[in-house]
Amino acid sequence: MASLYIAIAHYPVIDRTGKIVTSAITSLDLHDLARSARTYGAKAFFVIHPVADQRAFAARVLDHWQTGHGRQFDSRRREALDLTRIVATLDEAIAAAEAASAARPLIAFTSARAQGATGWDEARAMLRRADGPPIMALFGTGFGMAPTLAERADFTLPPILGASDYNHLSVRAAAAIILDRLCGR
């Protein structure tokens, strides 16, 4: 099986008006995405944020669960958070994954509005190839990732479509569903 990485981008993302902004890191995203990464066998979970204060916030959350009181409180949470890597840019995440896997990861773009996407069967087959390149599933915050991130992708995964026309899942929910579709038994 190819190595799987996940990443959450906080910049450049779009706000509700279509403006490109930087979104804030939330501790919920850190915890839940790390737990999903661990559950589905990802090699690392990258938190991408250009603002040093936000990266410091994420580091404090991780420190609490990895070395502080949280370590004794819930060791399973620490085990998941140990996969988390805080970086300033997508390029840093790609470089770290490439160094760990000895190959540049293919970037899988995710979006609720994706068109022309690679099908789930094809994406699963790419991931299940033992000799295949690593794959980094890239998730966004806010109201989606800016087009400049989509342009960096090697392929796009299909959007998660529910039973209604409402389509505004949290990144945590969408990531869990996507990881299950890619790696679930």
Predicted pLDDT of residue 27: 95
CATH of the domain at 25: 3.40.1280.10
Provide the residue range defining the domain that includes 133. 4-183
Q: How many C-beta atoms lie closer than 10 Å to residue 107's C-beta? A: 22
Q: Output the six-digit token pair for 95.
A: 């470089």
DSSP state of 154: S
**Structurally, how many domains does the chain consist of?**
1
Q: Output the six-digit token pair for 116.
A: 């022309």
Q: Which of 37, 35, 54, 27 is nearest to 136 (CA)?
A: 37
Predicted pLDDT of residue 164: 94
| 72 Cβ contact list (under 8 Å, min separation 6) | none
Contact predicate 144/12, CB 8 Å: no
Task: List the chain pLDDT tens, one digit each, 185 residues.
Answer: 899 999 999 999 999 999 999 999 999 999 999 999 999 999 999 999 999 999 999 999 999 888 866 666 666 778 899 999 999 999 999 999 999 999 999 999 999 887 778 999 999 999 999 899 999 999 999 999 999 999 999 999 999 999 999 988 999 999 999 999 999 99
Predicted pLDDT of residue 59: 96
Burial class (CB in 10 A: 0-12, 13-18, 19+), 102: exposed
pTM for this entry = 0.95
